[in-house]
Structure 1
Amino acid sequence: MKIVDVGSLTQAAEVLHVAQPALSQQLATLEGEFKQQLLLRTQKGVMPTEAGKALYRHAQIILRQFNQAQADVLNAGRTLSGQVSVGMAPGTAASALALPLLKMVQGRHPKIVLHINENFGTTLCEVVRNGRMDMAVLYGGGNAVQGLSFDPLLTEDLFVVAPEGLLRKDGEVALADLGGVDLLLPCTNNQLRRYVDQAFASAQVVPRVVAEMESSNTLAAAVGSGVGATILPVSAARAVAASADLYLHRIVSPPIEVPLALCESDHLPLSEPAQVVKAILLELVGQLKLDVGLHTLH
């Protein structure tokens, strides 16, 4: 793993405090056991073969499980400790869960180190599948994905966030009325964007997308300056609207709903600390449903 990480036998030997001939011998032993060449030597260093990449992925999982086994055995009967990693897709209700989750875990289990990673849903799915992250909260989960399981958490209505005067102030807007509105949306590979595009396609409306962005701060500033409107789940829409004194309009005719799900590996068991964090996360989701309102979260 270290050779692949640094891309050099020499540098890996230095980091590991092992003589390079000894490290080369260990590599040769591995290649002999697997009967496959694992690394290719190039002028720029070394890079893994396809077999090497496969072993690297498994090695990450094996070492992570071994480290967790050590922690579980050493701390049996003691206060829970260890690192737990949770992914949160930006621009989702998950963002509202991050800080409460951190506070509650620290309050109840101060020796658990919580690692929160905000990233795109597709990236989070991949790191959960290969065992580099325990779980992730993201939109989607309706379609089966090999190596992953999805537990539905809640469903959110989509709202338009717009500057004053762009839309009527009646709190609702028909999807057909958005055809001529300048829209600022996430990139096309974003799961939320896919739901929006599908809804427009079903209504036979062509959206006028003038810019694509992922940052909620940039999005709020752009909408606040009058560049256009955006479409977000109600939790994120309220946060953006509050930050820039904008107006919310629930999309109707038809309404658009997006499911928020908890993503886990379907073949790697959660450690005891991760199970505790998951239980706290589900507790917070229950509170979020009540706080936001059952008429927009189901």
Structure 2
Amino acid sequence: MSLRQYEYALAVAEAGSVTAAAELLHVAQPSMSQQIRGLERELGVQLFARTPTGLVPTVVGRAFLREAQVAVSASRRARATARAGADELTGELTVAVQMGFGTRQLPGALAALRRRYPRLEVTVFEEQSSAELDRLCGKGVLDLALMAACERTPADAHRLGEEEFVVVLGDGCAQLAADRVELRDLGGEPWVRFDRDSALDGVLLSVLRENDLTPVTAARVSQTATAVRWAAHGLGVTLVPASAVPQGYEHLVRPASPSVFQPVIAVLRQEAGPAETALLELLREENWSESRSPSASGSASLSAVS
């Protein structure tokens, strides 16, 4: 088995067909087909099943691809580190963010990183589940992650600041007349919530329980921007990270009382290379306290910092 075969298999899983994967990697389709068949023969398993919508990984294939991704990521990091010079850092950097975190700060840091290392390729994705994010960190798949809590050592986990959670109200709601929203005044209000395994829904539930509120679920969504828009249209109130509020909806946002915030922790992979180390320093230079409001009646921190 070779890393090239791993890369081919990962490309097929992403593209859904050998032909599309070959075009993506600029490889001849017959050559890629031969490599995939050779990999399956050597492993003694079927990695992909043919369906009406294309090739999809089998159960065994999905397990193999998870480990293949770890191996390919490690190889890319090794090549990038070996080629790193004063201004010639190349390779791929994989960054994951807990849903809603760093929406204002991460783009500026990444733009500065690209200006410093223009040949560096950066992949960023948001993850709803904090448990999955921590698992990916432990597997070595991620170069850097932004999250609220982790079990890593202080050498790998770096606190950047705090992310305040704010209440989003419907246009014309009476509570908009106040500077802050008393959470206990929201009893009986319907809520726009998040997917059940989402860290954001965990925050919302914790806040409601701490304020003796029973949630009435109006809807569940996957994205913070969707929750804000639906709340703005009067479907229900919602609670989101302040930095995740889309432009144009700021007039419908109020700090909560008691205030709600979570720490923002940057977690580096073990034996971090120059790219992720540079990104960490750029993130430190960003303002992580601009969205926090003075506490009107105390504050509630939902996660301890490791």
| TM tier, smaller | 0.7 to 0.9
Which secondary structure state, in structure 2, belongs to the residue aligned with residue 292 of structure 1? coil
Over 3 Å counting, the alpha-carbon distance change for 1:17 and 1:160 in structure 2 is same
- Provide the identity percentage: 18
Q: Aligned-pair distance for 1:134?
A: 1.4
* Residue 110 (structure 2) aligns with: 102
Q: Aligned-pair distance for 1:3?
A: 4.8
Q: Answer yes or no: is 1:159 the counterpart of 2:166.
A: yes
Query: 2: CA distance between counterparts of 1:46 and 1:249?
Result: 45
Query: 2: CA distance between counterparts of 1:41 and 1:117?
Result: 25
* Cα deviation code 1:167-209 (max 9, x no counterpart): 2622223322111222212222211221221222233320222
Query: 2: CA distance between counterparts of 1:19 and 1:193?
Result: 43
Which one has the largest radius of gyration? 1
Residues 84 and 277 of structure 1 are in contact (CA less than 8 Å); yes or no, is this contact kept in structure 2?
no
* Cα deviation code 1:43-102 (max 9, x no counterpart): 87896675x76654443323322233233323445522222122233433x111232123
Instruction: Identify which of 56, 61, 73 aligns with 1:64.
Output: 73
* Residue 141 (structure 2) aligns with: 132
Query: 1: CA distance between counterparts of 2:105 and 2:272?
Result: 20
* Residue 3 (structure 2) aligns with: none
* Residue 262 (structure 1) aligns with: 266
Which stretches in structure 2 are left out of the alignment for 5+ residues? 1-5, 23-27, 302-306
Instruction: Identify which of 201, 220, 225 aligns with 1:212.
Output: 220
Residues 88 and 118 of structure 1 are in contact (CA less than 8 Å); yes or no, is this contact kept in structure 2?
yes
* Residue 243 (structure 1) aligns with: 248
Residues 57 and 130 of structure 1 are in contact (CA less than 8 Å); yes or no, is this contact kept in structure 2?
no
Q: Aligned-pair distance for 1:26?
A: 6.3
* Residue 149 (structure 2) aligns with: 141
Residues 222 and 228 of structure 1 are in contact (CA less than 8 Å); yes or no, is this contact kept in structure 2?
yes
Query: 2: CA distance between counterparts of 1:23 and 1:233?
Result: 44
Instruction: Identify which of 237, 247, 254 aligns with 1:229.
Output: 237
Residues 125 and 263 of structure 1 are in contact (CA less than 8 Å); yes or no, is this contact kept in structure 2?
no
Query: 2: CA distance between counterparts of 1:156 and 1:220?
Result: 17
* Residue 288 (structure 2) aligns with: 288
Task: Indicate the RMSD between aligned Cα atoms, in angstroms.
Answer: 3.8
Residues 160 and 232 of structure 1 are in contact (CA less than 8 Å); yes or no, is this contact kept in structure 2?
yes
Query: 2: CA distance between counterparts of 1:120 and 1:17?
Result: 38
Over 3 Å counting, the alpha-carbon distance change for 1:67 and 1:203 in structure 2 is closer
Between the two proteins, the alignment pairs up a number of residues equal to 276
Instruction: Identify which of 161, 168, 186 aligns with 1:178.
Output: 186
Over 3 Å counting, the alpha-carbon distance change for 1:190 and 1:210 in structure 2 is same
Which stretches in structure 1 are left out of the alignment for 5+ residues? 32-36
Q: Answer yes or no: is 1:17 the counterpart of 2:24.
A: no
Which secondary structure state, in structure 1, belongs to the residue aligned with residue 200 of structure 2? helix
Which secondary structure state, in structure 1, belongs to the residue aligned with residue 93 of structure 2? strand
Structure 2 residue identity aligned to 1:66? S
Over 3 Å counting, the alpha-carbon distance change for 1:5 and 1:205 in structure 2 is same
Residues 80 and 89 of structure 2 are in contact (CA less than 8 Å); yes or no, is this contact kept in structure 1?
no
Query: 1: CA distance between counterparts of 2:255 and 2:33?
Result: 65
Q: Aligned-pair distance for 1:222?
A: 2.2
Q: Aligned-pair distance for 1:4?
A: 7.2
Q: Answer yes or no: is 1:74 the counterpart of 2:83.
A: yes
